[in-house]
Amino acid sequence: MTTNFNKLNFNFQMSFFYGNYPKNIRYAIYLWLFSTGLALVLAIPIFFLGFPEPIPIGYILVIFAIVLWELFLFYNISKGKNWGRIVFLVFSLFGYLTYFSESSELFRENFLDDAFSVFQSTINLGILFLLFSKQCNQWFKRKKQNIIEQS
């Protein structure tokens, strides 16, 4: 039984990273993994140095929930679910709106945190350009047509 689970886990990893989808989607997944991984690595010092009292469990749960949600979205994007990239676009746009609404305070208090926010926002913008490239648009349309024809 353990062997089947390991095989399933390995197949999931391979299909997620090397699936049958355009290279722009693969690059978007790699950029997302890089961005999320970097954010998590940079958050570790904040956990230990930024909070004078014990780390609030809610803070950790929110970060965990966001990473799981994004993993769910990118898994569905890699399977050809167009709604996944639309949801990622909407959430990114909301993030940019809050980011620009607070831009008057940018680089005034915490330069490194703000510089990382600009860097991560630029990466997310690159991910959006990759997901909505001509190549990806055609692939999502073909996926949708295949689903309609199978019904």
> Mean of the per-residue pLDDT values for the chain?
78
Q: Look up the pTM and report it.
A: 0.74
Cα 145 to Cα 151: distance, rounded to the nearest angstrom: 10
Farthest CA pair distance, the chain: 59
The answer to whether 150 and 143 are in contact (CB under 8 A) is: no
The answer to whether 87 and 73 are in contact (CB under 8 A) is: yes
Cα 76 to Cα 94: distance, rounded to the nearest angstrom: 21
Range of the domain at 91: 22-137
In a domain, 79, yes or no: yes
Of 93 and 115, the one with more pLDDT:
93
In a domain, 17, yes or no: no
Range in 20-34, 55-69, 70-84 the model is least confident about: 55-69
Asked if the model's pLDDT at residue 46 lies above 60, the reply is yes
In a domain, 101, yes or no: yes
Q: Give the residue among 122, 114, 112, 137 at the shortest CA–CA distance from 45.
A: 112
In a domain, 39, yes or no: yes
Of 95 and 51, the one with more pLDDT:
95
- How many domains does one find in the chain? 1
The fraction of the chain above a pLDDT of 90, given in percent, is: 17
In a domain, 7, yes or no: no
Long-range CB contacts (within 8 A, 24+) of 95-100: 95/121, 95/124, 96/121
Amino acid at 98: T
pLDDT of residue 141: 87
In a domain, 15, yes or no: no
The answer to whether 39 and 113 are in contact (CB under 8 A) is: no
pLDDT of residue 106: 65
In a domain, 144, yes or no: no
In a domain, 12, yes or no: no
CA angle, 73 then 75 then 146, to 5°: 100
